[in-house]
Amino acid sequence: MSENDEVAIRLPEAADAGPLLKLLERLQQESDTFTLADADDPMSAVQEADQLAQIERSTSHLLLVASLGSQLIGVLSIASTPQGNVGELGLAVEKAYWHQGIGTALVDEALYWAQTASSLEAIGLIVQTRNVAAMRLYQKMGFVRTSTPPETVRDDAGKPVTAVEMVFPLTDTDNTSK
């Protein structure tokens, strides 16, 4: 990236549906810590555009993209969990753009949304312990490890890896205001 290039953190538009699907495919190919929940059931661009419209109206789901000009280079999602009041965060940035503050900017924007516009009480995530950069990012942004013991998850290749749960509470437990 040159000095004149500016990365935008924004909500995706319907026209981003196809490029977003291509970004997700690239991200899955270049990282063994990034997996798609529905990788076995791919969406069409039309289905993705419909899903983007639904997410935009939600107070418990968020999707943000990082773009450099017309190219999508990163994505962040928050999706409500079965508990309903906790959102699960997912984040991925293309490898060529790692360590440039893009992940931090995406998480910062997502936490602002979560604190000001969402119906969620907390944001949680599961991160592989070998992903040291991601763990540092989440800690820097205020996420804390839960008391849940580390668990074994499978990476994209099916290899078992250790992961921990982290959480960012959105409500005060001591009855003070946000």
The model's pLDDT over 78-97, given as tens digits with 9 standing for 90+, comes to 998 888 789 999 999 999 99
- What are the backbone angles phi and psi of residue 94, rounded to the nearest 5°? -55, 140
The model's pLDDT over 34-51, given as tens digits with 9 standing for 90+, comes to 655 554 556 666 666 666
Q: Which of 18-27, 48-57, 101-110, 168-177 has the highest mean pLDDT?
A: 101-110
Whether residue 30 is predicted with pLDDT greater than 90 in this model: the reply is no
Domain spans in the chain, listed from the N-terminal domain onward: 7-169
Evaluate whether 125 touches 86 at the Cβ level (below 8 Å): no
Q: What is the pTM of this model?
A: 0.83
CATH code for the part of the protein at 7-169: 3.40.630.30
Q: Give the pLDDT band of residue 74 (cuts 50, 70, 90).
A: very high
Q: How many CB atoms lie within 10 A of CB 130?
A: 13
Whole-number Cα distances in Å, 144 to 122, 123, 168, 169, 174: 11, 11, 7, 9, 17
Question: What tokens were used for 6?
Answer: 């500016």
